[in-house]
């Protein structure tokens, strides 16, 4: 999901990373690329303009944090401004509650209602559904068919045309259930009668949550519609549907910004199981290809002690097995290597795929093998000949092939780090990286 947006945002940032001088023109270009990327994902134009204005003024007015380059400074601002767009995730508690579904026609409320029922049912809650859509033909058939499949009680009526009456009766009939979801008729903000109806429904049900269902393809209208729904019933969560198509969901993001709520769920398929919780942590970071900076910062702080990894020595090309051992140890505390590398803002540097092909179990094996090496071997791996290899393998309970593999991996790491050093002009400084992370919020 969001792949297209992610790619274009990443390209924009890569361009910035590739620049030698970060001046006003470079920032302007970045902002322009950002604008295009966000607008073509249907993020509200006004929001985009606000964001770009903020990036422009903040990058020229604010002083970079100590130890931060201008480039990092600008990246940080972009990151922070984008985070402001998405807000936080909506809190979903597993306790007795009533959920009122609202949304435009055809946004997928009924399907989502069934998916939600299934989601909470799987969490062990007793769920009931009320069908308050008395307008669309087949609506009650649809939801009752879906509910029957998952054995969830569904209250509704084919004859009754008064949604309030049905809901009142439904609440009474389903009072045994812990969670009641009220599916409503599709409506848009200009239909005054229907907006009044949903206000009444909200008052009647005293809903714990009022979730707005938004089609991922919805365009610039999303903000305006969300605002009006918010005014009417105080929306406290947004569910984005149809994320399995090519739509980017920028409209829904705008709706989130408009209602100052969060994205509660994401629907991404036609079966009843296709509903995910939305996890905002690192959402933007991943979007930007900057990795999960916040998570990395936390991890790095707890995992790496200064003496653990001497990045500077490594960068100078003195990368020995001993360094790799330390590195593997540190990495082990932080998580898989690919994730770590993905977290580092390496800009346009391409790392060979093989670097990542080390699973955590393999890393443990590598460390055991290295434990069987002599200090001299660790300092100078070129000493290792076939008889030493035999001895190491024997001592570690491994095969000589595994030892060979380890040495191959070591050589690849060494090459990669040399490459890094070349590309970033020898300024790849772990300390600075850490500072950058702590600067990010």
245 binds another protein (CB under 8 A): yes
Applying CB under 8 A, among 21, 61, 63, 137 the residue interacting with another protein is: 137
Minimum CB–partner distance for residue 139 and another protein (Å): 6
Which residues, including other chains, have CB under 8 Å from residue 256's CB and lie 6 or more apart?
Answer: 85, 86, 87, 226, 238, 262, 263
Site for another protein in 194-233 (CB under 8 A): 215-222, 224-225
Interface pattern 46-85 for another protein (x via CB under 8 A): x--x------------------------------------
Q: Which residues are paired to 99 by β-bridges?
A: 181, 209
Q: Which is nearer to another protein, 25 or 49 (CB)?
A: 49
Asked if residues 102 and 198 have their Cβ atoms less than 8 Å apart, the reply is yes
Q: Which is nearer to another protein, 75 or 147 (CB)?
A: 147
Total residues at interface with another protein (CB under 8 A):
48
DSSP state of 382: G
DSSP line for 140-153 = HHHHHHHHHHTT--
353 binds another protein (CB under 8 A): no
Q: Which is nearer to another protein, 248 or 365 (CB)?
A: 248
Q: Which is nearer to another protein, 8 or 332 (CB)?
A: 8
25 binds another protein (CB under 8 A): no
- Which region, judged by CB under 8 A, interacts with another protein, from 198-206, 244-252, 295-303, 422-430? 244-252
157 binds another protein (CB under 8 A): no
Place of tokens 């024997």: 394
143 binds another protein (CB under 8 A): yes
HEC string of 160-215 equals: CCCHHHHHHHHHHHCCCCCEEEEEECCCCCCCHHHHHHHHHHHHHHCCCEEEEEEE
Interface pattern 251-290 for another protein (x via CB under 8 A): x------------------x--------------------
CA distance 44 to 49: 9
- Which region, judged by CB under 8 A, interacts with another protein, from 134-142, 176-184, 291-299, 336-344? 134-142
CA distance 423 to 178: 58
34 binds another protein (CB under 8 A): no
Interface pattern 175-194 for another protein (x via CB under 8 A): -------------xxx----
Asked if residues 13 and 290 have their Cβ atoms less than 8 Å apart, the reply is yes
Gyration radius of the chain's alpha carbons: 27
Asked if residues 213 and 101 have their Cβ atoms less than 8 Å apart, the reply is yes
CA distance 68 to 34: 22
- Which region, judged by CB under 8 A, interacts with another protein, from 106-114, 161-169, 346-354, 375-383? 106-114
CA distance 184 to 100: 8
Which residues, including other chains, have CB under 8 Å from residue 318's CB and lie 6 or more apart?
Answer: none
Residues that bind another protein (CB under 8 A): 36, 39-42, 45-46, 49, 104-108, 110, 135-143, 145-146, 188-190, 215-222, 224-225, 241-242, 244-248, 250-251, 270
């Amino acid at each position: 999901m969001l792949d297209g947006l992610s790619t274009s945002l990443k390209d924009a940032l890569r361009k910035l990373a590739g620049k030698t001088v970060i001046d006003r023109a470079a920032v302007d270009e970045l902002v322009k690329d950002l604008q295009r990327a966000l607008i073509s994902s249907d993020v509200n134009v006004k929001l985009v303009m606000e964001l770009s204005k903020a990036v422009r003024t903040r990058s020229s007015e604010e002083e970079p944090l100590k130890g931060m380059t201008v480039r990092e400074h600008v990246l940080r601002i972009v990151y922070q401004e984008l985070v402001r767009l998405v807000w936080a995730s909506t809190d979903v508690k597993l306790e007795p509650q009533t959920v009122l579904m609202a949304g435009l026609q055809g946004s997928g409320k009924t399907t989502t209602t069934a998916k939600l029922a299934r989601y909470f049912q799987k969490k062990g809650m007793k769920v009931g559904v009320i069908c308050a859509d008395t307008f669309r033909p087949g609506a009650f058939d649809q939801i009752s068919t879906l509910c029957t499949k998952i054995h969830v009680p569904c209250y509704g009526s084919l004859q009754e045309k008064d949604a309030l009456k049905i809901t009142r009766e439904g609440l009474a009939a389903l009072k045994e259930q812990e969670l009641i979801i009220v599916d409503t008729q599709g409506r848009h903000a200009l239909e005054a009668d229907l907006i009044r109806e949903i206000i009444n429904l909200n008052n009647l049900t005293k809903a714990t949550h009022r979730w707005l269902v938004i089609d991922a393809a919805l365009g610039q209208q999303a903000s305006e519609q969300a605002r009006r729904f918010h005014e009417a019933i105080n929306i406290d969560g947004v569910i984005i549907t149809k994320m399995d198509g090519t739509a980017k969901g920028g409209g829904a993001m705008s709706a989130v910004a408009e209602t100052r709520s969060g994205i509660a769920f994401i629907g991404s398929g036609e079966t009843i199981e296709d509903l995910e919780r939305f996890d905002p942590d690192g959402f933007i970071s991943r979007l930007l290809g900057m990795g999960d900076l916040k998570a990395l910062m936390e991890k790095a702080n707890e995992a790496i002690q200064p003496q653990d990894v001497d990045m500077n020595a490594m960068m100078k090309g003195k990368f020995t097995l001993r360094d790799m051992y330390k590195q593997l140890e540190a990495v082990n505390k932080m998580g898989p290597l690919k994730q770590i590398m993905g977290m580092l803002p390496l800009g346009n540097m391409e790392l060979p795929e093989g670097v990542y092909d080390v699973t955590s179990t393999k890393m443990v094996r590598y460390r055991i093998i290295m434990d069987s090496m002599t200090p001299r071997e660790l300092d100078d791996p070129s000493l290792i000949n076939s008889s030493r290899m035999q001895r190491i393998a024997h001592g570690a309970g491994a095969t000589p092939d595994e030892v060979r593999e380890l040495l191959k991996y070591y050589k690849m790491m060494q090459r990669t780090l040399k490459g890094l050093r070349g590309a970033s002009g020898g300024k790849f400084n772990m300390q600075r990286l850490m500072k950058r992370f702590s600067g990010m919020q």
